[in-house]
Amino acid sequence: MNQLHHFSEGLYAKEMELKAGSFAVQHKHKYDHLSVLAKGHVRVLFDGELSKEYVAPACINIVKDVNHAVYALEDSVWFCIHATSETDVDHVDEVLIMEGV
């Protein structure tokens, strides 16, 4: 999975290129945030049970404290967009992702 990091004042976007058949691992966040499916077709699993399919273009609200994972049904591009002032790519996940998931 290729990742690119984008920053603007108070905003961070993680861009992920997901190949068909790959997963963005399950995790949960400390805050609600938006995700944008810019290309492709994915299935998002919520709390390991409920799932919903999205076809690009799609904007998805990801609720805090809910485990979620993204499974690419075809080659896809997914953006996670967060409000944060953290700009260090080595530490941004520590600010946004809950431990112990």
Per the domain annotation, does 67 fall within a domain? Answer: yes
Q: Which residue has the higher pLDDT, 66 or 101?
A: 66
* Total tally of structural domains belonging to the chain: 1
Q: In this structure, is residue 77 part of a structural domain?
A: yes
Query: Cβ of 50: how many Cβ atoms within 10 Å?
Result: 10
Is 81 a member of any domain? yes
Residue at 80 is within a domain: yes
The pLDDT of residue 27 is 81
User: Half-sphere exposure of 13 toward its Cβ, with a 13 Å CA cutoff?
Assistant: 14
Residue 41 lies in a domain: yes
Residue 36 maps to which CATH number?
Answer: 2.60.120.10
**Could you report the per-residue pLDDT of 34-45, keeping only the tens digit for each?**
999 999 999 999
Predicted TM-score of the model (pTM): 0.85
